[in-house]
Amino acid sequence: MSDISCPAPAQSLLKRGDRTARRHAAEARFRACGLGAILIGLAALAVLLASVLTSGLGAFRQSYIHLPIHLSEAELDQSGTRDTEVMKKVTTIGYGKVIDKALAEAVAQAGIAIDGLTDDDISGIISREAAAQVRDMVLSNPDLIGETIDLSVLANGRIDGYLKGRVTAESAALDSNVSPAQLQLADAMMERGLLSLDFNAAFLTAPDASDQRPEAAGLGVAILGSAYMMLIVLALALPIGVAASIYLEEFAPKNRLTDLIEVNIANLAAVPSIVFGILGLAIFINFAGLPQSAPVVGGLVLTLMTLPTIIIATRASLKAVPPSIREAALGLGASRMQAVFHHVLPLAAPGILTGTILGLAQALGETAPLLLIGMVAFVREYPAAPPEGLFDPASALPVQIYNWTQRADPAFVERASGAIIVLLAFLLVMNAAAILLRRRFERRW
Amino acid sequence: MKDTLTETPATTDTAKIAVRGLQVHYADTHAVRDVDVDIPDKAVTALIGPSGCGKSTFLRCLNRMNDTIPAARVTGEVRIDGEDIHDPRVDPVQLRAKVGMVFQKPNPFPKSIRDNVAYGPKIHGLTRTRAELDEVVEKSLRRAALWDEVKDRLNAPGTGLSGGQQQRLCIARAIATAPEILLMDEPCSALDPIATAQIEELIDELRNRFAVVIVTHSMQQAARVSQRTAFFHLGRMVEYGDTGELFTNPADPRTESYISGRIG
């Protein structure tokens, strides 16, 4: 067999031609570019996450002072009736004195002696919020009066900053709000277990606090406000969006008018969100007379903003259902509506749900329109349960972040970053839910 | 001008479907031109012709499926049992329960085998109890020669069956609504020869109960399963007659060219 003579090949396969080499080089260059683009993206994400996490994780831990506090009847309920209406006459100043006394005793008992430490310095390490905390606790349970209870009260923001490394002895020397002696006291109290950094559940549940009390500021009202708005968006945008899409996709005649509507919906999806804020201000607040700062107005505005997204996603998933399924149903004598609701819609459901959740996630992170309808206000009262609560003033997560970044105290930078982490966590959960729903309901045909 | 060369013009009294002067326009194309035909009951009528000759469009006129295409315009008369299906009083939804359809590509719903078959009877309210429905499902699957293969897995998805089984499932689904006429649009074109043979056998069975109208690209298939054959060319029905006659002794030269493989 081997002696069969072969003609020499005109172009040897063993040798690579110039053109081929150039084509391979071009491909290699393109792949390097693509890889580089992905690496840049990943690096940017890593930097973002690292900066948010390093500056924000501290917000989930808070300095607490652990004290036995004697709730003396003489100070807090002179009448002795335990009547909360009467007891309300004692303000936070009165409670402050009780706490100051308890702290002074605890410090003396622990044998802490520091040069130049005044009584004011000692009471100064407690947050001004602490008195309000204790007062609320006593007013909700008057039977505590006369007893000595072990309490953990908030430490001052500067002391908290010292424990987290934000405040140092050098910076304290220049700071009128905290003295080096107080920092020494904090060290001594930590050694004796009177002061420690604990998990900060209040960050997620407490309402916002004033500029002077960063240690007490929490996201409770903002989370509630955002949740109310998401409820409204879900309850309005999903049915309206799906109904509009089904009509446009399955029933509407294809003519100039429906083309025009289609173009307009696509354009609406690209309208800057602040424009929706102006619309909401003009229509819902100025014209319809709905209250400012209310989740109902925020929810309505975000519904308008989310609708185009949901309509586009729903129409795309309706279009993706093979026409043979519609024909099969119609051929069996199903009406148009039966064909849509029994067969097309279930097949389109995963896409619709994904689109809706992504629209909701977009709405959750939206800030600009909420600023215009007054949701930027300082709100310390929790909104009531829905439906009345939808008309109560509330804040929203992204607005709370915006709000905190504008405040002077560096402790609020930590709070804002912590709030960003919370917002990102919510978005992550929503996107994960979108993916899970898609996997769960996706059917092959 | 009429192109019909029906040797045995069936009168409207005996025909299940009587078509007169049917025209279909799609936007700018004139897809079906001036078709007159009488389709008998309890027989298989095959529609043959080259691609784009209008045979599928004609078939879709018989249960008004063309209504679902906005650009289609149908004129002329189609009478089923003497009733004009384009009469404004006729509801296409009711019509399609009487005239079932099987499509070119098997298109079972992405639901269980039972739900596929039960869907028609359910929406038309043909059964009252669950037992009645189960009976209809079994009867339809038996008639579609599928029962023995699927009786143990009625809750399995219909889309998990093989291509031939899926098509028989679609036939079972169509006959579950108790139609009188069964339209089939190239039901075997997506199937292998064995599945095709099974479906052809089934069609031969179905002829005892229904008027079957089948569109096919295969002249052998038309010769095997049908009693009557219509040849379509460029939107016109060129010739219509007994299948044996049409294949052995075509009257029109175009028919002869097509069946001998010179056009199409």
pLDDT at A124 over 50: yes
Q: Looking at A69-83, A145-159, A400-414, which range is the least confident one?
A: A69-83
Backbone dihedral region of A111: left (phi > 0), alpha (psi from -120 to 50 degrees) or beta?
left
Interface of B with A (CB under 8 A): 63, 65, 68, 70, 93-97, 100-101, 103, 105, 107-110, 119-120, 123-124, 159, 170, 173-174, 177
The Cβ of residue A336 has, within 10 Å, a number of other Cβ atoms equal to 15
ipTM, 2 decimals? 0.86
The answer to whether the predicted template modeling score (pTM) of the entire model surpasses 0.95 is no
pLDDT averaged over every residue in chain A:
88
Residue of B nearest to A328 (CA): B107
Asked, for residue B7, whether it belongs to a domain, the answer is no
Nearest Cα residue in chain A from B158: A445
For residue B259, name the pLDDT band (cuts at 50, 70, 90): confident
pLDDT at A443: 61
Residue B63 DSSP label: T
Given this model, what pLDDT does residue A221 score?
Answer: 92
Q: Do you know the residue count of chain A?
A: 445
Q: Is the pLDDT of residue B12 over 60?
A: no
CA distances from A198 to A129, A164, A202, A240 (A): 17, 12, 11, 46
Inform me whether the pLDDT recorded for A310 exceeds 90: yes
Q: Does the pLDDT of residue A18 top 50, yes or no? A: yes
Please state the rounded mean pLDDT for residues A217-244: 93
Residue A4 has pLDDT above 80, yes or no: no
pLDDT (mean) for A318-324: 92
Whether residue B3 lies inside any domain: the answer is no
> Residue B214: is it exposed, middle or buried by C-beta count within 10 angstroms (0-12/13-18/19+)?
buried
Q: Of B151, B200, B145, give the one whose Cα is nearest residue B169.
A: B145
- For residue A150, CA distances in Å to A64, A144, A415, B45, B88 come to 12, 12, 28, 94, 86
Enumerate the residues of chain A whose CB falls inside 8 A of the CB of residue B105: 324
pLDDT band at A312 (very low <50, low <70, confident <90, very high): very high
B87/B97 Cα distance (integer angstroms)? 17
pLDDT single digits (tens) B36-69? 999 999 999 999 998 888 899 999 999 998 888 8
Distance CA(B131)–CA(B234), nearest Å, equals 50
Q: Which residues of chain A does B70 touch, with a Cβ-Cβ cutoff of 8 Å?
A: 253-254
- Residue B145 clears pLDDT 90, i.e. is over it: no
How many DSSP H helices and E strands does chain A contain? 20, 3
Contacts of B103 in chain A (CB under 8 A): 324, 327-328, 331
Predicted pLDDT at A2: 56
> A366 versus B9: which is more confidently predicted?
A366
pLDDT of residue A37: 97
Per residue in B97-115, pLDDT (tens digit) is 899 999 999 999 999 999 9
Neighbouring-strand partners of residue A438: none
- Which range has the worst mean pLDDT, A25-34, A73-82, B77-86, B219-228? A73-82
Residue B3 pLDDT more than 50? no
Q: Calculate how close chain B gets to A344, using CA atoms only, in Å.
A: 10
pLDDT above 80 for A311: yes
- pLDDT of B5 > 50? The answer is no
pLDDT tens digits, residue range A138-191?
A: 888 888 888 888 888 899 888 898 888 888 888 888 888 888 888 888 888 888
What is the pLDDT confidence band of residue B14, given thresholds at 50, 70 and 90?
low
Residues of B in contact with A326 (CB under 8 A): 68
Query: pLDDT (tens digit, 9 = 90+) per residue, B174-231?
Result: 999 989 999 999 998 888 888 899 889 989 988 988 899 999 988 889 999 999 999 9
Distance CA A329, CA B108 (A): 10
By C-alpha distance, which of A190, A222, A192, A195 is closest to A206? A222
| A57-77 mean pLDDT | 87
Distance CA A402, CA A376 (A): 8
User: Measuring CA to CA, how many Å separate A275 from each of A240, A265, A368, A445?
Assistant: 21, 15, 9, 42
Q: How many helices (H) and strands (E) does chain B have?
A: 10, 10
Please tell me the distance from the alpha carbon of residue B186 to that of residue B219, in angstroms, as a whole number. Answer: 12
Which residues belong to CATH 1.10.3720.10 in chain A?
Answer: 220-441
CATH dotted code for A220-441 = 1.10.3720.10
Range of the domain at B218: 15-259
A171-175, A401-405, B199-203, B260-264 — which is least confidently predicted?
B260-264
Which pLDDT score, from 0 to 100, does residue B264 have? 57
In tens, the pLDDT along B217-256 reads 888 899 999 999 999 998 899 999 999 999 999 999 999 9
- The mean pLDDT value of chain B amounts to 88
Starting at the earlier edge strand, list the strands of the sheet with A61-70: A148-154, A61-70, A195-199
| pLDDT surpasses 60 at A1 | no
In a domain, B264, yes or no: no
CA distance B159 to chain A (A): 6
| Optimal mutation site among B99, B107, B181, interface A, most CBs of chain A within 10 A | B107
Residue A331 in contact with partner chain B when CB distance is under 8 A? yes
CATH code for the domain of B82: 3.40.50.300
Q: What is the pLDDT of residue A165?
A: 85
Domain count, chain B: 1
Q: How far apart are CA A152 and CA A197, in angstroms?
A: 11
Residue B6's pLDDT is 42
Residue B9's pLDDT band (cuts 50, 70, 90): very low
> What is the pLDDT, as a whole number, of residue B2?
40
Q: Which of A325, A334, A338 is opposite residue B107, by nearest beta carbon? A: A325
Beta bridge partners of B57: none
The distance of B242 to chain A (nearest Cα, Å) reads 28
Min Cα distance B92 → chain A (Å) is 8
List of residues 6+ apart from A236 with CB closer than 8 A: A299, A300, A303
